[in-house]
Structure 1
Amino acid sequence: MTKLTFRNAQEGDLDKIVGMLADDPLGMKRERYEKPLPESYHQAFHAISSDPNNELVVACMDNEVVGVFQMTFTPYITHQGGWRATIEGVRTSSAVRGKGVGTQMFEWAIHRAKERGCHVVQLTTDKKREDALRFYERLGFHATHEGMKLKL
């Protein structure tokens, strides 16, 4: 497996990012991968990139974007005022799935969370993503809480 490089996403990466988000059974139901991309993706990109507690990170193999995830760093009053890192929107290119890209992405993300002084890394994944659940468990994540959402 080629060692990946990581960087903050640039607006020019949005087409590849949205393409990866839409390239799975759940993502294709909620994303709009069309050209030009809907303006909402550009607005979200600007909101994320202007927030010092949000990072949209791409994983690159030979300068080609092959993975993406968003990290949000949140201060909490609980846990003695500790910080948490939340990882969401994780995707790898279908061309590299099963080749260790996801593992390298999470190793990098966990290191980044430590750099930012976080005491925990948390994530959510759809219960229908059984392969993802097994992957996260192999990385040491535990389902310690029951997550709930309210669609608005």
Structure 2
Amino acid sequence: MGDLEIRPATRDDLAAIVDMLADDTLGAQRESPGDLTPYEAAFARLAEDPHQHLVVAEREGRVVGTLQLTVIPGLSLQGSTRALIEAVRIHADERGSGLGTRLIEWAIDESRRLDCQLVQLTSNAGRTDAHRFYERLGFTASHVGFKLQLGRA
């Protein structure tokens, strides 16, 4: 797989991250890579929050993957801390290379390091290939999710 570094995302990575978020049928409908303004504000909020871990996978100076790991302290499960994996994206020319597995393994290891007792993730109901991928990595489809849109989509 060549040299790969998984590291915290920086402001300079933002355009590459947004391009990956927009690079599928669902993302193309909801992302706007031509205007980074709303993403810059969101990135600033993420950077300030110690419970947020936005990372990129970089190979040969090029961002080829990303994910966001959120640490959620809670009272349920006897005061357990959970980790939530979201926005997993792999650059189109890296899909099938094992990079997604490396990113998820990083997230699981980081969750353990942060003393989380559970790792969970969400995936759009239409992403059946992603669901099979997560199941191969040991995740179990265990809940039904609901959303209520409150503002801009």
TM over 0.5: yes
Conserved in 2, the CA contact under 8 Å of 1:7 and 1:58? yes
Could you say which residue in structure 2 is the equivalent of 1:106? 104
Q: Distance in 2 between matches of 1:108 and 1:3?
A: 15
Match of 1:72 among 70, 73, 97: 70
Greater CA drift, 142-151 or 92-101:
142-151
Q: Normalized against structure 1, the TM-score is what? A: 0.96
Conserved in 2, the CA contact under 8 Å of 1:85 and 1:121? yes
Provide runs of 4+ in structure 1 moved above 3 Å: none
Could you say which residue in structure 2 is the equivalent of 1:59? 57
Which runs of structure 2 are paired with 1:23-102 in the superposition (5 Å)? 23-34=23-34, 37-102=35-100
Q: CA deviation at 1:62?
A: 2.0
Q: CA deviation at 1:3?
A: 4.8
**Can you list the C-alpha shifts for 1:78-97, whole angstroms capped at 9, x where unaligned?**
11111000011110000100
Greater CA drift, 60-69 or 108-117:
60-69
Aligned length: 150
| Root mean square deviation, CA, Å | 0.9
Q: Distance in 1 between matches of 2:4 and 2:132?
A: 22
The amino acid of 1:9's aligned partner reads A
Conserved in 2, the CA contact under 8 Å of 1:4 and 1:104? no
Does 1:8 find its partner at 2:14? no
Q: CA deviation at 1:12?
A: 0.6
Q: Normalized against structure 2, the TM-score is what? A: 0.95
SS in 2 for 1:80: helix
* Runs of at least 5 residues in structure 2 that lack an aligned partner in the other structure: none
